Structure 1
Amino acid sequence: QQQQQQQQQQEEQKKEAERVQALQQQEEQRKEAERMQAIWQQEEQRKEAERVQALQQQEEQRKEAEHVQAMQLEEEAQRRKVERMLAIQQEEQRRRTEEQQKQQRAEAEEQGRRAEWERAQQEQLLRQQEQQLASEHERKEAERVRAEGQRLKQEQQQREAAQLHAQQLQQQQERQRQQQEQQRLQASAPAPIAAPAPVSAPAPIAPPPTAAPAPIAAPAPISAPAPVATPTPMAPHEQREQERLQREAERMRQEAERLRMP
């Protein structure tokens, strides 16, 4: 009977040990399941965080691209505005130059007509004086008067040639200035257009010394050519507007360089 009790106790102890072992295994399995679930949750959280971060980066990139595009559009609009203003200023400057050249040509034609009239008056006066000299002495005097008229005519021609040369030189300088100004405006930001230096009137040619002629009627004095008109300088508000456009163009250029930097 005692042996049977011992067997029962051993059997119970064995069952208890198996039950405890089963409980321990269940506990281990539960802990392992919890650990695996925590790992899975962490992985899911990491993936979700990466997805959210990727979406945020895409959104930031989209906003940055839209900002860059808006800046480029604004820069293009400003550039076109500056180009329009420069075109208007160039057209205004061209119109002023044409008007000044037209006025200069009209003044030159008027001076030529006046000189021609004065020359005709001198020749008529000399012809009248020649007709009045009938004797030998008068013929010699007429030859002297004719020589004096020839000298005056040569002096008049020299003055006209000097005036024509000054006008041609001024027109050549004006064309060169316009070409340089056009090239500078196309190559860089606009700058104030400087007025060309006025061309001084040619100095009158002093007549060579001659013997004192017999008293005759003096020809009408030949007036000195009028000074060539200089281009009208830009008004203060036009100067300020051009400086503002230059500053705006420089700002847009710096902004474009900043956007192109990595």
Structure 2
Amino acid sequence: MEFPLEKSPNPKASEHFVNAMQYKFMIISIHRLVDYDNFLMTPFLNKMKEEYEKGKELLPKDSAEDVYWYVILFRGIHGIGGIPDDYDMSLAYENILSKEEYKQHYIEIVNKIKRLATNDFNFDVPRITQYKYEFMVNLVDEVMAILIDEYKSSKEIFLNKDYKEGFKSTYKYYKNFSNKYLPQANKQNKNKVVDIYMKLHLSSYVLSFKIHQTRKANCDNIEYRNMINNLKILKQMSLNPKYKNQTFYYENIFNNLMIYEKMKVLKVYCPKLKNEAIEISKYFNPQLEKKTLKKEK
């Protein structure tokens, strides 16, 4: 059994979470035939959520066990982290929530990140300890996916105080959590690449908030140095046979316009970092330069 209840610090609560997993397995089977919003799914989705809520109610206030189960139960169904199961977007939060509900969802995900990072739980089985890091990544990915979606509809998103403060705490909690749980994660080669990938995106968002709010390059911001160092590390990883299979992450970063634009800021406005930025810009897809020129016109 993947989740032996005798290992749980809260066995009565965990029993309901495990029951919810049984419904999740049924949902996965039915999903081979119909989408999540099909009426055949409704009773199973309701029962899964009901068991989850029962388990959540039985937890002590200082336990974040429910956050773990939230991710494993709902991430594929609601597209948490921007990746739905089998590309089924029928119940993805970005499609079913109103603008105000989506903003509230952002606040709730940030709170889940905080709780997972600060209110740990000691359910000491591999299926949990080895996946805590991965599930934190899913939650942080969801925060960034919401920001991307909101940016598409409003360029003022990086001026919003609530989003800024939520992201600031997300970055802090991710770094602390990564230091603790990345060494315990399964698939070490993959997750070491993922960690650099996450830190690059996080640095880029922190700088975007800063640049939009100050209208300055902020050349002394430590995140530029963090980004330069992590881009160098990621490039070396991409050339190392040990990590070479993680092409998704390399292609994502070196085709990322937002990160490339930070290097361009350094080249234009920050003399101390200009030469490094010029060299690192060579890692990126050359087509990105054309895109930045179009944006500037």
Q: Tell whether the structures are fold-level matches, with TM greater than 0.5.
A: no
Higher RCO structure, 1 or 2 (CA under 8 Å, sep 6+): 1
Provide the TM-score with structure 1 as the length reference.
Answer: 0.21
Give the structure with higher Rg (CA): 1
What is the TM-score normalised by the length of structure 2? 0.19
